[in-house]
Amino acid sequence: MPNQITGVRDQGSGNRDKETNQIPELRPPTPDTRPPIKVLIVEDSPVAQEFLTYMLTSDPSIQVVGVAHNGAEAIEAVKVKHPDVVTMDIHMPVMDGFEATRRIMETVPTPIVIVSGSTGAGEVGGTFRAIEAGALAVVRRPPGIKHEEFEAGSRELIQTVKLMSEVRVVKRIPRVFKVDVPERPVLSPPLQRTAGIQAIAIGASTGGPPVLKDILSGLPQGFPVPVLIVQHIAQGFVKGFAEWLSGASRFPVSVASQGELLAPGHGYVAPDGFHMGLGNGPTIALSDHAPENHLRPSVSYLFRSVAQVLGPAAVGVLLTGMGRDGAEELKVMKEKGAITIAQDEESSVVHGMPGEAIKLGAATYVLPPEGITALLVELVKK
């Protein structure tokens, strides 16, 4: 077997250089010289503070630089300690996590991960308001150390913190008015009418919830086409996400169920742990097949299924998010005759997924959220 360091073969007495017949010097691996990820914990419970500190510092690449007991303290601590990531509770005295997130993103923008102790209706509402204000992700606070799900929950929290530390966030300007959707988007190439649109498939990850809300909010009452949505989100939050999205956008959205017949003007979110595709009818077809791109549900699975079932009678939309989930399959949709759309870089929190699709030539159009809404309206007029 070739030696991975020198490329020569093991000659029994040791690895020797072909020219000098000398045993090559084995150098120790270069140590990781990157500075640790600095984390600020925002949590009012002393027990939860200690618990989160214990979990996060179990990874040598993470350093907890401070603890804030409420949102007001968090705002000041961010200015002083300059953390790479903030873990944010929602329900706290003095100032809650939503308001703290909003003010941090308007003054000292920093990646924020909502760490929620509950997926109940009251908690979830505040969680997605915080994401709308600029938080990047939400995870459940892992259960106690002796719980069987502790290790998995701890890994998810640590992985999320590491991933979000790589995101470059920008200052959020308060939006006090609704952007009017243009009646006719200026498109290049010019819009060519295709077969009647029977479904719209949308995939999103980091930064997706507020973009989805904006897109759905701009669709007119009586919009005649169903919308299928895969949003990468932590286990346990899908039902609350669907309820928040429905209420915030005034576009009816629910968690999809097996065999459900698609209804016009309704949104369907893929449930926890299942891929979502289409069956005959068309109907919702859920699958527990292996994860794709390490994800289940996967945008790739949805786009591929929609391409196979509907061909040109579909629209595919790939929004902000890390990685490349859905990029190649958006190209499959395009090759089948569907209209395909990727979110532009300027409006994306992370341009990974749509950026990969653009590189592949998978997007018919590259647009900001308001342009996506306008195009969807234009596409289904007839």
How far is 113 from 167, CA to CA, in rounded Å? 12
How far is 84 from 166, CA to CA, in rounded Å? 9
List strand residue ranges (DSSP E) for the chain, in order: 37-42, 62-68, 85-88, 112-116, 137-140, 199-204, 227-231, 253-255, 267-269, 275-279, 283-287, 314-318, 339-343, 365-367
Q: Can you read off the two tokens belonging to residue 171?
A: 């200052």
Residue 214: closest CA among 169, 238, 255, 245 = 245
Q: Which of 69, 84, 232, 275 is catalytic?
A: 232
Q: Which of 96, 214, 325, 344 is catalytic?
A: 325
Cβ–Cβ under 8 Å, residues 157 and 55: yes
Q: Which of 116, 154, 165, 205 is catalytic?
A: 205
Q: Can you read off the two tokens belonging to residue 238?
A: 């899908």
Residue 229: closest CA among 250, 256, 263 = 256
CA distances for 309 relative to 91, 157, 266, 333, angstroms:
45, 37, 19, 10
How far is 81 from 52, CA to CA, in rounded Å? 18
59 an active-site residue? no
Strand arrangement, sheet containing 339-343: 253-255, 267-269, 227-231, 199-204, 314-318, 339-343, 365-367
13 an active-site residue? no
288 an active-site residue? no
**Catalytic positions:** 205, 232, 325
